[in-house]
Amino acid sequence: MTSYIKIPSHLTPSDPQGSELLARERSKATFDVNELTLALYGSEELSRFKKILKILESDPILDKSNIYYMGRTELFKYALRKDKRIIQLAATHKWNVDEFKIASRLVDMSGPYSIHQSMFLPTILGQGTEEQKRKFLNPAIRHEIIGCYAQTELGHGSNVQGLETTSTYIPETDEFEIHTPHLTAAKWWAGGLGRTANHSVVMARLITNGQDKGPHPFIVQIRDLTTHEPLPGITIGDIGPKFGFNTTDNGFMLFDHVRIPRFNMLSKFSKVTKGTGEYKNPPNEKLSYGTMVFVRSVIIFNAGLALARAATISVRYSAVRRQFVDKENPMILPNGQVVETAVLDYTMQQYRLFPVIAQAYAIYFTGEIITNLYKQYIDQSSRGDFSLLADLHASTSGLKSLTSDIAVDSIEDCRRSCGGHGYSNFSGFTRFYQDYLPNTTWEGDNYILTQQTARYIIHSKQQSEEFSLRSNESPTIFYMLRYLSNPSQKCTVISPSDFKNPEVQLAIYGYRAAYLIARAVDQIDNHKKSWNSMLVEINRISRAHCQYILVHNFILTLQPQTSDSMNEKRRILHNSPSLKTVLTSVCNLFALHTMEKNLSEFLESGYLSPKQSEMLRVQISESLNEIRPNAVALVDAFYLPDYLLNSALGRYDGKVYETMIEWASKEPLNGITLDINPYSEKLFRNDVKAKI
């Protein structure tokens, strides 16, 4: 890349150098970073990760050095090139799906093919018959056809039952006719639709024999495979500039009585019979919503990675950035020189950043558990057993909502913790934050999804017989019986360190969730409160329940397990006392900081007293002290390479200032000739001049 300004090469940052500061931090760690990285990823995934990183870093098409200076059209073209390149590399190196996912994660840019991979393929895989998979899935895996997922409409997104696009069965020709009856039925937002896709999953109301069977998925070819023009009867366009996600062409689409073969209705679960139009019900009505459950589970896992990334940038930068001299405890170099204090040493900065490290670990572990639960569901459902679905839907909905909310808030907190440089694109936060933001909206708006979780729990509580039955089976609501059976219990904490006891933490979280649930049920059942009037409480229930799950899963991960049930990752963790010690501090911080942020609910239930809440704060401060020497090592353990971070502030080597000035010198604005004379007319075109 061209440098437009020559920077005098003899200048270096004042001592101590960033690399020296980070090296000092790393030397303070009480555990082996490589060991923790292995415990997070496992040796197989880590070696794949390293192998793929090497390939991507050295590929000129996947070079990221230019992207901070690009406008939308240029960025979109770059994203298309990089999407194509990953597919070519996947073919050359024979990557499997997991390796493909690692590459996409490292290249880190949504693109025109992203929804093809994240929604189009999984929908056919999850909802298509074997014959349909042969016809659509195989060419789609080879990227011979490119698809998108068109569910949301201009007038409806959250309310899937309210979708207006129709798909009417025509027995005479054995076809469906897809139609957009109103402007509000225009498909809107589908990623990849605007300029790229030639096929789409279209969610449309199935009408057969005059009966409306509600939304179902159909495969529709939307563009000509040779000319790439929209097919007759179909109008398509890009929806225009967005808050972020501008590397993807989100599109709109209108249908004017477009015919598709009956074969194109994805029919693994429900079918329409040839000629008679008879409708065969699915074994569970909501199976056509299956892709959403899958993507929500991925969003939970991704929230952990997003937090790890934000924490890595801000913690490393805070170790390098120095402001003021802390007179009571000055930073002294080995040569005796007193220098400004690293901002990471200010307790306020620690209080802002260390909980983000803790959130990243907590959500990472729950993400793994949910991914496994999803796999278990897929396994069982392939044998016709859908019993896990209701619980999986409830927990993925609430956790998707909670974890993406946490991530969005914390990414912004981390950005702000980097001061002015956090506002520069070179921080690595700008596009990262903008592109992360829609996770709170897509795949179900976060407020709407909490209603799904709370309703499942409230129903369970209302049908108490079924509740006790379900609570034995359900991995997510078993705690409630224990606390509901004895509502006058009190928290046993008598000194701050008692808060470190996992049993105490679980009891506090469990009691608060159970209390909120019981109160809401009382309002609904005995005071006849409407659902709408209870929405704020309902949101609280889902959050309380999901916070319980996060704390519970973190504690579970750290508890000794029988060696049989342990995989390689857990074995590494459990065989290393130093890892367990540091992660226990992280787990405590997560549990206690989250408690403090929601303190009013814990106090209100009467379980925790104001005196205990004072002790809670003392213990949080103690946990921050425990984490301080390990802060940089804890983020290093996430193993997020510079190639992914693309951040001047979060570089592994700490060369923050050298990179800032080098990247600034490449700003193209520095290279253009400008006429700054306010009276010059050169700026105006002749046609404009004629009008003034």
Ligand X SMILES: CCCCCCCC/C=C\CCCCCCCCCCCCCC(=O)SCCNC(=O)CCNC(=O)[C@H](O)C(C)(C)COP(=O)(O)OP(=O)(O)OC[C@H]1O[C@@H](n2cnc3c(N)ncnc32)[C@H](O)[C@@H]1OP(=O)(O)O
Q: Which residues bind ligand X (CB under 6 A)?
A: 90, 95, 97, 100-101, 115, 117-119, 121, 141, 149, 151-152, 158-161, 191, 286, 289, 292-293, 295, 298-299, 389-390, 393, 442-444, 448, 452, 455
Q: Residue 150 binds which entry of ligand FAD, ligand X, none, with Cβ cut-offs from 5 to 8 Å by kind?
A: ligand FAD
Candidate list 443, 601, 626, 658, residue with the active-site label? 443
3-state secondary structure of 153: strand
277 contacts 209 by C-beta, under 8 angstroms: yes
Q: How far is the CB of 248 from ligand FAD (least distance, A)?
A: 7
| Closer of 149 and 169 to ligand FAD (Cβ) | 149
Q: Given 3-state DSSP classes, what are the helix, strand and coil percentages for the chain, each rounded to the nearest 5?
A: 60, 10, 30
Span interacting with ligand FAD, options 61-69, 151-159, 262-270, 338-346, rule CB under 6 A: 151-159
Residue 147 lies near ligand FAD (rule: CB under 6 A): no
Q: Residue 452 binds which entry of ligand X, ligand FAD, none, with Cβ cut-offs from 5 to 8 Å by kind?
A: ligand X
The residue assigned the tokens 């990953």 is 86
Q: How far is the CB of 292 from ligand X (least distance, A)?
A: 5
Span interacting with ligand FAD, options 59-67, 255-263, 314-322, 437-445, rule CB under 6 A: 437-445
Gap between the Cα atoms of 494 and 496, Å rounded = 7
Site for ligand FAD in 465-524 (CB under 6 A): none
Token pair in block for residue 311 = 């924490």
Buried b (16+ CB within 10 A) or exposed e, 255-278: beebebebbbbbbbbbbbeeeebe
Q: Which of 580, 577, 618, 578 is nearest to 596 (CA)?
A: 618
Q: How far is the CB of 490 from ligand X (least distance, A)?
A: 34
581 contacts 626 by C-beta, under 8 angstroms: no
Residue 561 lies near ligand FAD (rule: CB under 6 A): no
| Closer of 56 and 616 to ligand X (Cβ) | 56
Residue 150 lies near ligand FAD (rule: CB under 6 A): yes
| Closer of 253 and 356 to ligand FAD (Cβ) | 253
Known active-site residue 144: no
Q: Residue 619 binds which entry of ligand FAD, ligand X, none, with Cβ cut-offs from 5 to 8 Å by kind?
A: none
Residue 245 lies near ligand FAD (rule: CB under 6 A): yes
Token pair in block for residue 92 = 């050359």
Residue 217 lies near ligand FAD (rule: CB under 6 A): no
Q: How far is the CB of 427 from ligand FAD (least distance, A)?
A: 22
Which run of H or E residues covers position 213?
strand 211-221
Residue 397 lies near ligand FAD (rule: CB under 6 A): no
The residue assigned the tokens 């098409």 is 61
Residue 152 lies near ligand FAD (rule: CB under 6 A): yes
Buried b (16+ CB within 10 A) or exposed e, 537-551: bbbbbbbbbbbbbbb
Gap between the Cα atoms of 280 and 302, Å rounded = 37
Partners of 271 in beta bridges:
280
Q: How far is the CB of 149 from ligand FAD (least distance, A)?
A: 5
Q: How open is the CA angle 189-193-194, to the nearest 5 degrees?
A: 85
Residue type, 392: L
| Closer of 192 and 654 to ligand X (Cβ) | 192
Task: Residue 565: count other Cβ atoms within 10 Å of its Cβ.
Answer: 7
Gap between the Cα atoms of 341 and 385, Å rounded = 60
Cis amide leading into 16 (omega within 30): yes
Catalytic machinery residues: 443
Contacts with ligand FAD, residue ranges (CB under 6 A): 115, 149-152, 156-158, 189-191, 245, 250, 438, 441-442, 444-445, 447-448, 535
